[in-house]
Structure 1
Amino acid sequence: MKHKAALKLIEDKLPKKRYEHSVRVAETAKEMAGIFGANRDKCYLAGILHDYSKYDDLGSMYQYVTKYNLDSALLAFNSELLHGPVAATIMRFEHGVKDEDIYYAIANHTSGRPQMLLVEKIIYVADYIEPERDQPGVGEIRKLVFEDKNLDLAIYEITKMTLKHLLKKNRPIYNRTIECYNYYNMVKE
């Protein structure tokens, strides 16, 4: 899929604010690709498409999980987690985006996972640090990325903050997020 077609696809589907967020994630990912030696086109495309299913009906998302044999544990979660795997599946099967790097980047941008591919890592981090994000700790993550150039430590810190947030809100935690935390805790330095 060409960038222009991807932009049109999400502009037609997402609210303006989410569309603008997706563009910022794509631009951030493209910049990070230059720093970490990733494919800029793949990073940009994955960034544009990552939130494609953000506002899809929950029942519809559950149907994708079942129809495409996605991890059945996903059925215990809401759209905050489900939209990534569902969007990746829709891109693959309905829009012809077959690239594995892009698929995994979209699928795991909210949960993370152990041993992420480079494009996947970049989208996971870019979604967290795009310029309009202002959550506590985001400045430190930006420093890890743009000054220290330590992507694995950034992933660890983001995952740690995500886990703290989910525990504080008494929300369920997807097993891959815990596995991501454990893995990047071991390799972060």
Structure 2
Amino acid sequence: MKIDQAIDLVKEKLPEKRFNHSLRVAETAVKLADIYDGDKDKVELAGILHDYSKYDDLGSMYQIVQQHNLDSNLLSYGSEILHGPVCAIIMEEQYGIEDEEILLAIKNHTTGRAQMTLTEKLVFVADYIEPGRQTPGVEEIRDLAYNQGSLDIAIYEISKRTVLHLISKDINVYDATIACLNYYNYSDERVKDD
């Protein structure tokens, strides 16, 4: 799929605010790819498409989880977690995207996971730090990613803040997010900086 096709596809489906967020994520991912020697085309496409299924019907998402034998634990979560894995399936089956890195970046952009590919990392971080985000502490993460060359540490900090936020709201934390937190807590890059 070409970038202009992806933009048209997302623009037609998403509310304007979410569409603009998707464009900013793509732009941010490309900037990060420039810093970390990533594939700009892959991260741009994944960034544009990552929230395509964000507002899909929950029942339809549950059906996709079951039909494709995705992690059954996903059925305990709402669209905040489900839209990534569901979107990856839709992009592969309905739109012919076959690149595994792009599909993984879409699938895991919300939860992260242990041992992410570079493309996954770039989209995961870009989704958190794009210029429209005003989350408390986001400037620290931007500094880690843009100025300190610390992508793995940025992932750890994002995961940690996500887990702490969910716990403070008594919301269950998806297993992949815990695995991401634990993995990047012990990453070589983070240990060297301690």
Question: What TM-score bracket applies, with the shorter chain setting the length?
Answer: over 0.9
Once the two structures are superposed, the pairs formed by residues 98-113 of structure 1 within 5 Å of their partners are 98-113=98-113
The residue aligned with 1:28 is: 28
- AA paired with 1:11? K
In structure 2, what is the Cα distance between the partners aligned to 1:40 and 1:89?
22
> 1:81 offset after TM fit, Å?
0.4
Instruction: Give 5+ residue unaligned stretches, structure 2.
Output: none
In structure 1, what is the Cα distance between the partners aligned to 2:18 and 2:154?
23
Provide runs of 4+ in structure 1 moved above 3 Å.
Answer: none
The residue aligned with 1:76 is: 76
The residue aligned with 1:178 is: 178
Report sequence identity in percent: 57
Instruction: Give 5+ residue unaligned stretches, structure 1.
Output: none
The residue aligned with 1:128 is: 128
CA offset digits 1:139-162 (Å, max 9, x no partner): 000000110010000000000000
> 1:51 offset after TM fit, Å?
0.2
The residue aligned with 1:143 is: 143
How high is the TM-score relative to the length of structure 2? 0.96
- AA paired with 2:180? C
> 1:69 offset after TM fit, Å?
1.0
CA offset digits 1:12-37 (Å, max 9, x no partner): 00000000000000000011000001
> How well do the aligned residues superpose, as a CA RMSD in angstroms?
0.6
Once the two structures are superposed, the pairs formed by residues 53-72 of structure 1 within 5 Å of their partners are 53-72=53-72
